[in-house]
Amino acid sequence: MSTAALVLVCDVCERRVEGVDGYVTVDEIAARDRGPEIEAWQARGGSRSPLELLEAPAPIAWHIYHKDCDPDPEHEGYSIMASQCSTWPQLVAWTSHVLEKPWARYTTWGPLLRGILTASGQSAAAGR
């Protein structure tokens, strides 16, 4: 597995986030709270109209921020310092850890990973 540095891009200023200058973060409490709503919507099952799909409860977004760019720096979300997830082995280890959290499935962890892959010059379909 490559130990090449990954590229994390700030959601606000769109510059690279490195070291201890930033982090990957999510509102864990919002994800916990959104869970029952997502579960209920999924339990209804069946085919859905485009309008119904648009009305589906959205998962809670992960964000990448520089400390100085975070629009809510006082939030008490679940955060991972950029220095702790800046290589492939670190990102795989964090993915394993995050996916053990019961609230993680109500977040955008997958799209976050695809964004990091793209920013790092990798294809999200490379393993297919």
Write the pLDDT tens digit of every residue in 29-78: 999 999 999 999 989 887 788 888 888 899 999 999 999 999 998 988 99
Of 122, 119, 25, which Cα lies nearest the Cα of 81?
25
The residue assigned the tokens 């130990």 is 3
**pLDDT score for 67:** 96
User: For position 11, what pLDDT does the model report?
Assistant: 97
Q: How far apart are CA 19 and CA 24, in angstroms?
A: 12
CB under 8 Å to 112, separation ≥6 — which residues? 24, 62, 64
Residue 55 CA to residue 116 CA, distance in Å, equals: 27
Query: 69-115 pLDDT, tens per residue?
Result: 999 989 889 999 999 999 999 999 999 999 999 999 999 999 999 99
pTM over 0.85: yes
Domain chopping of the chain, boundaries? 8-119
